[in-house]
Chains A and B, each alone.
Chain A
Amino acid sequence: MSEQLFLIAHIAGRGVAIDSAQVESVVDIGHVTPTPRVARHIRGLAALRSRVVTVIDTHAALGLPPIGIAGSRAVITVIDGHHYAVLVDSLEDVAPFEAAPLPSGIALDAAWRRAGCGEIERDGEPILAIDLTALVQGPGEAVTLN
């Protein structure tokens, strides 16, 4: 299997790898306009140059308590023509890795199961590869809309 470029980031204290094909850019998000009555993992809307992006609270998307005020670093991804800013704790770097399926027997817990799509290995350390589409979709029915 050939190597792909992955962006290594930290979400909820864990290292994750994001396929660079899903990443349009990496930005700092400024003021976020709240979107009342929308699913909990949608933080709101932010302006990115002349474009409006939907900001995803990654913690909430994983079913964890929402991020709070901190956390303005975000990965921009485009899904079905809409731009999303997926908030991350921090970003490391971009490097080529070989993607592999999750080893058999490892069952991710509920929060990560939807997002996890494989693993990569960096200097012997396994890192979970995640699919941003799953984060954008949020935790699904598990969380009731407020």
Chain B
Amino acid sequence: MDDLLQEFITETRETLEALSGEIVAWESAPEDRARLDAIFRFVHTVKGSCGFLDLPRLARLSHAAEDVLAAVRSGERAPDAPLVTAVLAIVDRIGEIVEAIDAGTGLDDSGEELLIAALDGSAEAAQAPVAQPAPAGQRIANRSVRLSTDLLDRMMSGMSDMVLARNELARQMRDHQGHPGIEAALDRLSLTVAEMRDTVTRTRMQKVDALFSALPRMVRDTAAEVGKSVQLVVEGADVELDREMIEMMRDPLVHIIRNSIDHGIETADERRARGKREIGRLIVSARQSGNQIIIEIADDGRGIDTNRLVQKLTASGQSRGRDLSGLSERAKLDLIFEPGLSTKDEVTAISGRGVGMDVVRANIEQIGGRIELVNALGRGLRILIHVPLTLSIIPAIVIGIAGQRFAVTRQAIEEIVHVGGDAIRIDLLGDTAAATVRNRRMPLVDLGALLGLAPARPAAADMLAIISASGGSFAVAVDSVLDHEELVIKPASPAVMAAGIYAGQTLPDSGSPMLLLDCAGIAAEAGINFTHDTAIEEDEPEEAAAPTVDALLFEDLDGRRRAVPLAIIDRVETVPAETARFSGGRMRLLVDGRIVPLASLGDIAGRSGLAVLRIKDGEAEVAYAIAEPVDIVTVPADIVPSAQAGPILGVVTIGDEQVELIDPQWLLGPDSGDAVRPGAPLCLIDGQGDGWIATFLKPVLEAAGYRVATGAEAGERPAVILTTDNRTRGDDRVVRLSNDRRDIGATDRVYRYDRAGLLAAIARRVEAA
């Protein structure tokens, strides 16, 4: 908010300076329409900004002035001298208030009523206090300047050139064994250049707040237009994003939100009938994840009825002869990106203006982003937009094909696999190559042949990059994966871009120019067309299976095989054994200059190098020592809970083996969850013979800071009672647990694996108690 306020002050001050000439000119020629318009725009802008910033005094003043000026513009009033004087007095007062806000001093509001009254042309006009120019000393030095983006762009490209020039110098130095003094100087230069590059990059960054700040008003207005009530929650406004990206995200975001309110969220009556809160909820959040920013728009509306979508497309003849009813749920969902589709039967003023989700997706893909839908029919829709951090420096993987290097954006690559073993195979279907990676069959592109660099021999490929494109994934046969670099990407010349398979060019440290491959273009050139029919085959088996979790299977220090959910692993790395020490009452690991707790289920003594899993979830970070990673596996959701609370969440079958699943809660919880305060709220678990609750939930609840008991002691009143028993009603301390996944998001019961939902429900009860 402070940023916004500062921006408002700067902007107002600048406009006032520019306006001062206009004001004088208007005074001498009140009929001058152009001057009138300029002043009108000023007070209008001030009024608009004041609404956001909660500055009622300024809002009142500017509103009054705007009304009068509007009357003048429409010819209802003549711009006579008293009116001009009154308006100017208000403009002056606005300037004084703005300076006062900036300086943090108060300003007496006496006389403002008079100023406003003077606008009516009443008798007081003559007595309207003449605004005093603000004393010169009051203005505090401004520590921010406004720059044009053009200048920033030039600075940025100059910076990139500097990085490249430094690389060139370093290369020359390597070739001509340099003087040690020169090398030291080069190192210092490198350091400065790197710091400089960070700083310059930051100048391009802006808080997502700039994107989000206009949303409350927009949501309110849109909701009012369609007669719905919507509560907006904005999270992560502090996340920073490239300024240009923010501009390019604006339209898609507005479109998605308007869609959500218009199509997604139901009317109050409908919501009541479905047992939802009357007020719809819209959550817009931003978070950084690695080298990308995820902007999520989640509503709790009706979600997308995919069957209706199919009917609609078929009815309107847009199915183009395809049989859409056989599609998998996911493929059906993707139909909302069909051009010209409106999910609503009638076009409203809000959406259905001819801009569809297809355009939104195209816009997002244009900036190297990707859009993902998570649909829950009847319960809401989540739209996740993944975008790269900046437009010009992107993380890329360098691949080698027939001796030549190419870059591919890391975002496009799902994974890189070696051919061999049972999990990955390549077959020829007719003359067309197909890769099968862990039971997923996908088209295979022989990049060497496609580029004309090598004869076609897809079956001989030994390394595949799995690329995700809109509509599906495909495999690309590459010779080698050489590097992972942050590259400064610039557009290639039109003749090169015309090939349709390049996204830009770059000059890496090697000094040889390199082309960035455009994955969508390659798919198109290779004739890969993800019609919805191919997706049927690909998706259906996943559909039928229970929801699954990816996990890293590893060999633990005690020789057993265990797994840990992939989502919480930040990275796997090998560290020298001496960086792990027993200090301060537990094992700790010194890594990246920080100390993180080190957990293990075995003895680390006697090892020279230690493989550790770096586990991170938000702020919390721990390391877990293992012997060696084995594979990435898919873990079924049926986890046999472990008999006691502790490091092991439960046991799953992987292959024919029993594998223990490490409990993330144990790893990340406050030192294995025994640090519960004595006065903490008591959770009573009314298990009724269901051992699951006691064994599984106890550590979770204790980690969240509750005391847990299976029976209340005399004289103690539990704050919350957890039960699976459906008969317990009427006690508002009760949280009912259900076994039904579909209960996620329900209000009267909680799906027992929905940890967040459960903790939230408990927190509500405790608060109420």
Task: Say yes or no: is B557 at the interface (Cβ < 8 Å to chain A).
Answer: no
CA distance A50 to B167 in the complex (A): 9
Closest to A84 in B: B493
Q: Looking across the interface, which residue of chain A has its beta carbon closest to that of B402?
A: A36
* Residues A37 and B495 in contact, CB atoms below 8 Å apart: no
Residues 120 to 146 of chain A near chain B (Cβ within 8 Å): 136-138, 145-146
Q: Is B498 among interface residues, defined by CB-CB distance under 8 A?
A: yes
Identify which of B160, B165, B452 contacts A49 (C-beta below 8 A): B165
Would you give the 0/1 interface string for B29-52, flagging 1 where the beta carbon is closer than 8 Å to chain A? Answer: 000000000000000000000000
CB under 8 Å from chain B, chain A span 84-103: 84
Q: A80: which B residues are within 8 A, CB to CB?
A: 494
When the two chains form their complex, are residues B511 and A47 in contact, meaning their CB atoms are under 8 A apart?
A: yes
Q: Flag if A38 contacts B161 (CB, 8 Å).
A: no
Sample of 29 A–B contacts (CB below 8 Å): A33-B404, A33-B514, A33-B515, A36-B404, A36-B451, A37-B450, A37-B452, A37-B499, A37-B501, A37-B525, A38-B496, A38-B498, A42-B495, A45-B513, A47-B512, A50-B161, A50-B507, A51-B507, A52-B490, A52-B492, A54-B495, A54-B496, A82-B492, A82-B493, A82-B494, A136-B493, A137-B495, A138-B495, A145-B499
Which residue in A31, A35, A84 is a CB contact (below 8 Å) of B515? A35
Interface residues as binary, B583-614 with A (CB distance below 8 Å gives 1, 0 otherwise): 00000000000000000000000000000000
Binding site for A on B (CB under 8 A): 160-165, 167-168, 404, 450-453, 490-496, 498-499, 501-502, 505-507, 511-515, 525
Task: Look across to chain B and name the residue whose beta carbon is closest to the beta carbon of A136.
Answer: B495
In the complex formed, the residue of B with least CB distance to A46 is B513
Name the one of A31, A36, A39 contacting B495, with C-beta atoms under 8 angstroms: A39
Chain B neighbourhood of A35, CB < 8 A = 496, 499, 502, 515
Contact A31 B512 (CB under 8 A): yes
Across the interface, A45 reaches (CB within 8 A) one of B168, B451, B515, namely B515
**A71 adjacent to chain B (CB < 8 Å):** no
Q: Nearest 9 CB-CB pairs, A to B?
A: A50-B164, A45-B513, A36-B451, A82-B493, A54-B493, A52-B513, A50-B165, A38-B499, A37-B499
State A138–B495 Cα separation when bound (angstroms).
9
Count of A-B residue pairs with CB < 8 Å: 81
The residues of A that contact B452 with a CB separation of less than 8 Å are 36-37, 146
In the complex, which residues of chain B have a beta carbon less than 8 angstroms from the beta carbon of A52? 490, 492, 505-507, 513
- A34 interface contact, C-beta 8 A: yes
The answer for the CA separation of A82 and B490 in the assembled complex, in Å, is 10
Q: Provide the residues of chain B in CB contact with A54, threshold 8 Å.
A: 492-493, 495-496
**Which residues of chain A have C-beta atoms less than 8 A from B492's C-beta?**
45, 52, 54, 82
What's the Cα separation between A145 and B167 when bound, in Å?
Answer: 35
With the chains together, A33 CA to B525 CA distance in Å? Answer: 21
Inter-chain contacts of A146 with B (CB < 8 A): 452
Q: Chain B residues with Cβ under 8 A from A38's Cβ?
A: 495-496, 498-499
Smallest CB-CB separation from A42: which chain B residue? B495
Of A38, A51, A54, most buried by chain B (CB within 10 Å of CB) is: A38
Contacts of A145 in B (CB 8 A): 499
Residues on A with C-beta less than 8 A from B493 are: 42, 54, 82, 84, 136
Give CA–CA (A41, B498) in the complex, Å: 13
* Chain A min CB distance to B190 (Å): 15
Closest residue on chain B to residue A36 by CB atoms? B451
